[in-house]
Structure 1
Amino acid sequence: MSLTASLDDTSVAAEPGAETALPLQVLNSGSTVEEYRFEVVGACAAWSAVEPAVLSLYPGDTGTVSLMLRPPRDSTVPAGETPFGVRVVPTGDQGGTVVPEGRVTVLPFTATTAELVPRSSHGSLGGRHRFAVDNRGNTPVTVRLAAQPGSELARVDFADPELRIEPGRAEFGKLRVRPAKRMWRGAPVTHPFQVSAAPQPVAEGQDAPEPVLVDGSYQQEPLLPRWLPRALIVAAVVLIALVGLWYALLRPAVKSAAREAVTPEAVRSAVEADPSRSADGGDPGGADSAGGDSAGGDSAGTGTDGGTPGSSTSPSPGPSADAGASTPTSAQVRVSDAVGGGANTGTALRVPAGQTFQLTDLVVQNPQGDAGTVVISAGAETRVLSLGLENFRDSDYHFVTPIVVPAGGTVTMTIDCRRVGRPVGAPAPSRCTESLFLGGTMKPATGG
């Protein structure tokens, strides 16, 4: 072999961001002039070079080149020992290539940056932040987090006081700023504070790097918002207006409907059924209450139209009672009538022989919003109600003194249609259609 190459030192330490030179001795032991080329092999080849890159030697001469080690000062080159080799290739005799080997130790360094996200917060009970710490060094680092409030009116707490960060990575520490006292009302108060990230030494005897300081602020807001007093005043004004509307308009209308429900026929029938009641003994024929209209309330226990222009009835009396016992009974009827065709009557209930029916409750429905008249009759001569269809959608009536219908008597509903209504979101009907639901008690008829 006509080539001898050796490193002055097989182990060298390189500082990131600096340049380290390692001499390489080359001896031409051949008999001809030879030119040599140099190649660095190993993980450090990206940041190493041989200067000069080409060396010519006469026979028996010795030359020196330098292996220049330039590790970058960032996290791409980790700290620690890395093997390498320098391939010396003779131009004339490439089979005589030699590769002297060595080891380079990249020294560790620490570089950290920090950022507070968000820089400022606000709230009535506290503010939340994240403290982002970035390790730009080439070795893992442990960072201790601390905070110093700007005053005694707020305190800063970390969820985890330490973070371990790998090279080239960032970690987040959660922190919360809490006010020392709650503020119920008033102007917002700003509390400044400062947080620090202090890297710990990576090796014994090494000085600790300077901590990174970041400023932040927390704005304490009152628990009661500024708009609350105004909202309470507006709510009080609206409540007073609603109460005034009730006493001025709605309550008189309810009383008027209750008085209209008491017809002379109903009073006369009640007095005949119970002679013990008189005008001097109480209220012989008054109605307890009459429900107001419920516009748009199209739902009630209406039956189905039987397909005829007349009416369809569906009485639903309770179970038959023994002699002397009263039985709760209910019934309903649905009546349809065409415009201009005259009145149409439907029977809701027919009292069986040997029984009397005491009518106590009525519910009249006008779900389509028809116009015309409706008459509710009990017995042959008693007209209980006479209403204008355009004045209601649903009306209910409850009688303290029952209206007595004798055996063989009927409870009917008569409709006289003047205009067919149109329900919202439904096809226009061709007839007026109303329904009646009644309730009361069926009792055996008494003799004499």
Structure 2
Amino acid sequence: MAVSALLRTSAVVVAPGGAARCHVLIRNNSAVVDQFVFTVRGAPADWTEIKPAVANLMPRQEVSVELTFRPPRSHEVPAGEHPFALRIASREDPAGSVVQEGVVTVEPFTEVAAGVVPETSTARRIGRHTLALDNLGNHPVKVEVGAVDKDERLTFRHKPARLELPLGHTTFARVDARPRKYFWKGENVPLPFKIVVAVPDAQEIELDARLDQKALIPRRVFWLVSILFGLLMVLVIIVTLLLRQQPVSIAGPSPERPSSSAVTTTTGSAASTTASSAPSSAPGTSRVAGGGGPSVSAPTGGRAVTGRFRIETRAYPNVGGGPQLFSYVVPAGVRYRVLSVVLRNPAADTGQLQIRHGSSVVGTVDLAVINRDGNDELTFVPDDPPLVGPGERITLAVVCTNRRDPCTPTGDFTAALVR
């Protein structure tokens, strides 16, 4: 064999980022001058330096070759054993080349980088933060994630709380911060805290984070409620003003309707006059259109004699020349004092209705008022009940503002017979 080699140290220990050396004794066993080339094979070849790389040896001459191992401080060189081989190639006798094998042990080191996104979260109930962990060391490492709030205004939840970080990878965890107390309105409240990562054999990592707590009710809701309340107040004022403009006199409850009874004959000249002047009585209320007579109730016991009559209308919309008139003519020999009128608007017509005694206006009612709040009738009591004599008219004057259909309000009059 043209060459012989002796590796003085077959096992070398080196720290990442540091250097370790070993020596190989090379001897030329041939009888001629020979040149030898030294190369390293295996994973350590990228971070191994050979001095000298080439040697020319005389016969029986020796040389010491130094191998310097410099593994980088990176996750690309894992901790542990890395076998290598030193090949000594002869130029004169290629078949006589030899190989020396050894092992380089790279010591472990721990390095973890961490970041939080977002650093500041804004929420009403839960602030969510994502923790990114990079293992920059040369061996897998297990870490624990926690959070600290020195003011104790937050509670935390970690998903997961313990992680194993592989080499050269980024691992994510979620940290949720929840306020212990809530508030309904106001400006955002900053709640700072720290995320703590416990790394074995290394210093803890602390990251600053913050939750800006928002009020439970957004500010725009208060603005909206204020605007709606203002609009409601304006609407109430408008409706109040419109109601005050209606010249309607409504006082007291609806007068009781007399029970059905027949006309009784009374003695004396006054009773004879009443019986002769009033039409035949009938139970209940009779309907009279135009000049029909009223229904008269004359109970015994000295009470006043009352009568009732109805005026029905049918007024057409968009008719010029003023309101349309519908009258009742008091028959001869009778005088009435109008006590009250029950107005009905079953079709929910729109417009205006006036109660007239001859040319005098007793009262004015808006048809829409009759049906307000679901009521189907309205009782009108005159402030000064008119006295109506024979041949005089009680009139309903109607102004119809419907779009198409005619207005059909009615009035049931209750009157006292005056002798």
TM-score w.r.t. length of structure 2: 0.59
Partner of 1:20: 20
SS in 2 for 1:289: coil
Deviating more after overlay: 181-190 vs 103-112: 181-190
The alpha-carbon deviation at position 240 of structure 1 amounts to 3.2
Larger Rg: 2
- Determine whether 1:77 maps to 2:70: no
The alpha-carbon deviation at position 143 of structure 1 amounts to 0.8
The alpha-carbon deviation at position 19 of structure 1 amounts to 1.1
SS in 2 for 1:23: strand
Q: Distance in 2 between matches of 1:44 and 1:291?
A: 103
Q: Distance in 2 between matches of 1:140 and 1:134?
A: 11
Q: Does structure 2 conserve the Cα–Cα contact (< 8 Å) formed by 1:289 and 1:397? A: no
The one-letter amino acid paired with 1:220 is Q
Q: Distance in 1 between matches of 2:136 and 2:406?
A: 85
Q: CA, structure 1 residues 289+53, in 2 after alignment: closer, same or farther (shift >3 Å)?
A: same
Q: CA, structure 1 residues 398+105, in 2 after alignment: closer, same or farther (shift >3 Å)?
A: farther
Q: Distance in 2 between matches of 1:103 and 1:178?
A: 53
Q: Distance in 2 between matches of 1:36 and 1:238?
A: 101
- Determine whether 1:278 maps to 2:336: no
Q: Distance in 2 between matches of 1:140 and 1:129?
A: 24
The alpha-carbon deviation at position 55 of structure 1 amounts to 1.5
Q: Distance in 2 between matches of 1:398 and 1:43?
A: 105
Partner of 2:106: 106
The one-letter amino acid paired with 2:347 is S
Q: CA, structure 1 residues 285+397, in 2 after alignment: closer, same or farther (shift >3 Å)?
A: closer
Q: Does structure 2 conserve the Cα–Cα contact (< 8 Å) formed by 1:290 and 1:396? A: no
Q: CA, structure 1 residues 85+184, in 2 after alignment: closer, same or farther (shift >3 Å)?
A: same
- Determine whether 1:68 maps to 2:68: yes
Which string of whole-angstrom CA distances, capped at 9 and with x for unpartnered residues, describes residues 54-78 of structure 1?
1222211221111221111111112
**Equivalent residue runs for 1:148-297 within 5 Å:** 148-200=148-200, 208-242=201-235, 277-279=287-289, 280-282=308-310, 284-285=312-313, 288-289=346-347
The alpha-carbon deviation at position 228 of structure 1 amounts to 4.0
5+ long unaligned stretches in structure 2: 246-284, 290-307, 315-344, 351-399, 411-419
The alpha-carbon deviation at position 290 of structure 1 amounts to 5.0
5+ long unaligned stretches in structure 1: 201-207, 253-274, 293-386, 402-448
The alpha-carbon deviation at position 151 of structure 1 amounts to 0.7
Q: How many residues align?
A: 279
Q: CA, structure 1 residues 168+397, in 2 after alignment: closer, same or farther (shift >3 Å)?
A: farther
The alpha-carbon deviation at position 4 of structure 1 amounts to 0.7
Q: CA, structure 1 residues 76+282, in 2 after alignment: closer, same or farther (shift >3 Å)?
A: farther
Q: Distance in 2 between matches of 1:396 and 1:199?
A: 88
Q: Does structure 2 conserve the Cα–Cα contact (< 8 Å) formed by 1:51 and 1:67? A: yes
Q: Does structure 2 conserve the Cα–Cα contact (< 8 Å) formed by 1:124 and 1:183? A: no
- Determine whether 1:118 maps to 2:118: yes
Q: Distance in 2 between matches of 1:76 and 1:397?
A: 96
Q: Distance in 2 between matches of 1:23 and 1:396?
A: 119
Partner of 1:52: 52
The alpha-carbon deviation at position 247 of structure 1 amounts to 7.3
Q: CA, structure 1 residues 6+282, in 2 after alignment: closer, same or farther (shift >3 Å)?
A: farther
The one-letter amino acid paired with 1:284 is E
Q: Distance in 1 between matches of 2:12 and 2:21?
A: 9
Partner of 1:342: none
Q: Does structure 2 conserve the Cα–Cα contact (< 8 Å) formed by 1:288 and 1:398? A: no
Deviating more after overlay: 135-144 vs 8-17: 8-17
Q: Distance in 2 between matches of 1:79 and 1:129?
A: 33
Q: Distance in 2 between matches of 1:49 and 1:185?
A: 70
The alpha-carbon deviation at position 249 of structure 1 amounts to 7.9
Which string of whole-angstrom CA distances, capped at 9 and with x for unpartnered residues, describes residues 92-116 of structure 1?
2222211111222222211001111
Q: Does structure 2 conserve the Cα–Cα contact (< 8 Å) formed by 1:290 and 1:397? A: no
SS in 2 for 1:25: strand
The alpha-carbon deviation at position 248 of structure 1 amounts to 7.1
Which string of whole-angstrom CA distances, capped at 9 and with x for unpartnered residues, describes residues 4-34 of structure 1?
1131122222221111112111111111122
TM-score w.r.t. length of structure 1: 0.55
| Structure 1 residue runs of 4 or more that deviate by more than 6 Å after TM superposition | 246-250, 396-401
SS in 1 for 2:232: helix
Q: Does structure 2 conserve the Cα–Cα contact (< 8 Å) formed by 1:133 and 1:197? A: no
Q: Distance in 1 between matches of 2:217 and 2:175?
A: 25
Q: Distance in 2 between matches of 1:276 and 1:74?
A: 111
SS in 2 for 1:234: helix
Deviating more after overlay: 119-128 vs 65-74: 119-128
Q: CA, structure 1 residues 400+164, in 2 after alignment: closer, same or farther (shift >3 Å)?
A: farther
Q: Does structure 2 conserve the Cα–Cα contact (< 8 Å) formed by 1:3 and 1:30? A: yes
Q: Does structure 1 conserve the Cα–Cα contact (< 8 Å) formed by 2:87 and 2:100? A: yes
Q: Distance in 2 between matches of 1:2 and 1:396?
A: 128
Partner of 1:138: 138
Q: Distance in 1 between matches of 2:116 and 2:10?
A: 46
The alpha-carbon deviation at position 241 of structure 1 amounts to 3.4
The one-letter amino acid paired with 2:147 is A
- Determine whether 1:42 maps to 2:35: no
The one-letter amino acid paired with 1:74 is S
SS in 2 for 1:219: strand
**Equivalent residue runs for 1:83-94 within 5 Å:** 83-94=83-94
The alpha-carbon deviation at position 282 of structure 1 amounts to 4.4
Q: CA, structure 1 residues 158+285, in 2 after alignment: closer, same or farther (shift >3 Å)?
A: same
